[in-house]
Amino acid sequence: MISLNRFYAIAQKEFIHIVRDWRSLFLALAIPMVLILLFGYALTLDLKNVPTIVLDRSGSPQSRRLISLFDGSPYFSLTRFCSDYRELENSLNRGRAMLALVIPDDFGQKILANKPVKLQVLVDGSDANSARLALGYVKSLAMIYSEKILAERVRLTGAGDVSRPLRLNSRAMYNLDLRSQNTIIPGILAVVMVVIAAMLTSVTVAREWEMGSMEQLISTPVRVPELVLGKVVPYFIIGMTDVAIAVFMGRWLFEVPLRGNAGLLFAVAAIFLTGALFLGMLLSIVLKTQVLANQMAILASYLPTLLLSGFVFAIENMPHPIQILTYIVPARYFIALLRGIYLKGIGLETLWINVLLLTLYAIIMVILANRKMRLYLE
C-alpha cells in the first residue's frame, strides 16, 4: 500500500526544491511561451511575397497585362525591372530576388497572332521547397492569363462563351485558408511537453545521487512508488500549466481554432506528459548524472518529436525504413490526436487507437521507472 503521508512528504520536498530554484521554475514556464512565439512566427510553410524581378523584352500591352497579374498576386512581390540578363543574374546571385520572369520580344505579336509563346522563369533552387511552391504559383498565373486571352478571343470572334469540359471545384477541409499556423501550433504542444520533461524530470533522481541525499532517502521507510510518484507530481502540475499556456496563446495570439473537446485535449495531453515525465525519470535513475541524463533525454525525446513525428516533415515523404521507425515515436500519435481535436473536431470514436497507444506508452514508462528504482534501492 502507498502511504499518502509519505507520498505527500516527497511531493512537498520536490515542490520546495522547485520554488527555491526559481531560475528553473522560470525557465519551465517561460520556455513554452518562447517556443510558441518562435515556431508560430518563424516556422511557416506558407510562401508569400516572393521577391520577383522581370526582364520584359516585349514592352507590349500583352506583356504588361501579364506582369500586372504577378504584381496583383499576394504570392509575388515585384522588386525591380531588369534591362539585360547580366543584371538579372546578378540579382539572383546576390539574393535580391528569388524568381525572375523573362518575357521574349515577340510575346505581344504571338499573342495577337494566336500562336503559342514560351516564357522563361528562373528560380533560386537553393531552397528547394520554396522553389517548387513558387513555380507552382507561376504555372497557376500562366493558366489564368491563358484562359483570359482565350475567353476574349472567343468573344471577339462571336463564338460565344468558352465552355470548359471539366470544372474543378476544390475546397481545403479543416483548414480553409491553408494557414500553416493551424497545423504548427497544435504540434508545438508536443514539443513543449517533451522539452519540459527532458529539462526537469531527467535530473531529479540524478541530483539526489550527486548531492548524496539518495542514501538518506533509502534509509527512510519511503517505498519506491511513493518516491517516484512524489517526485513526478510537481513537474506534472508544471507541465499541465504549460499546456494551458500553449493552448491560450495558440487561441488568442495566433487565432488557431479549437473545434474539438477541450477536456479531451487536456486528457490526452496528461497521458502523453505522464509518459514523457517517466521517461525522463527513467533516464535520471539509470544514468545518475544530471548533465548526461539531460542530454540523453533531449536525444531520446526532443529530436524524435521534432523530426520523426510529422510535426514539421510529412511522414509520407520519408524513406520507408524511416516511416517504420516513426511508429515507435509516441509524439507521432499525440500530434495526430492534437490535429484531429484542434482542426477536425473529432473524438474518441475515431482517435481511440492513438489514445490507446499513448496510454500503453505511459504505462510502460511508469513500470520501467519503478522497476529500475527498486533495483537501486534494494
Determine the pLDDT at residue 218.
65
SS3 (DSSP) at 147:
helix
Classify domain 50-156 at the CATH superfamily level.
abc type-2 transporter like domain (3.40.1710.10)
Torsion of CA 189, 195, 198, 199, to 10 degrees: -130
- Beta carbons of 227 and 217 less than 8 angstroms apart: yes
Q: If pLDDT is split at 50, 70 and 90, which confidence band does 178 have?
A: low
Could you give the angle at the alpha carbon of 310 between the alpha carbons of 308 and 314, nearest 5°? 105
- The pLDDT tens digits of the residues spanning 272-283 come to 999 999 998 888
Q: Cell numbers of 97, please?
A: 530576388
Residues sharing a CB contact under 8 Å with residue 147, sequence separation 6 or more, in sequence order = 162
Element (H, E) at 44: none
pLDDT of residue 34: 84
Mean pLDDT confidence for 38-60: 82
The CA–CA distances, whole Å, from 118 to 97, 104, 189, 222, 371 equal 22, 8, 48, 80, 70
For residues 358-370, average pLDDT: 93
Question: pTM of this prediction?
Answer: 0.78
As a whole number, mean pLDDT of residues 335-353 equals: 89
Q: Which three cell numbers stand for residue 183?
A: 497545423
Q: What is the predicted pLDDT for the residue at 157?
A: 67
pLDDT at 264: 93
**Could you tell me what percent of the chain has a pLDDT over 90?**
14
Across 14-18, 269-273, 287-291, 316-320, the highest mean pLDDT is recorded for 269-273
What are the sequence ranges of the domains in the chain? 10-44+179-377, 50-156
- The Cα 28–Cα 12 span in angstroms is 18
Query: For 298-308, what is the mean pLDDT?
Result: 86
Q: What is the pLDDT of residues 205-263, one digit of tens each?
A: 777 766 766 666 666 777 777 788 888 888 898 889 888 988 888 888 888 888 889 99
Q: What is the average pLDDT across 95-101?
A: 88
Element (H, E) at 23: helix 22-42
Give residue 159's pLDDT.
54
> According to the model, what pLDDT value does residue 272 have?
94
**Residue 334: band (very low, low, confident or very high) from pLDDT cuts 50, 70, 90:** very high
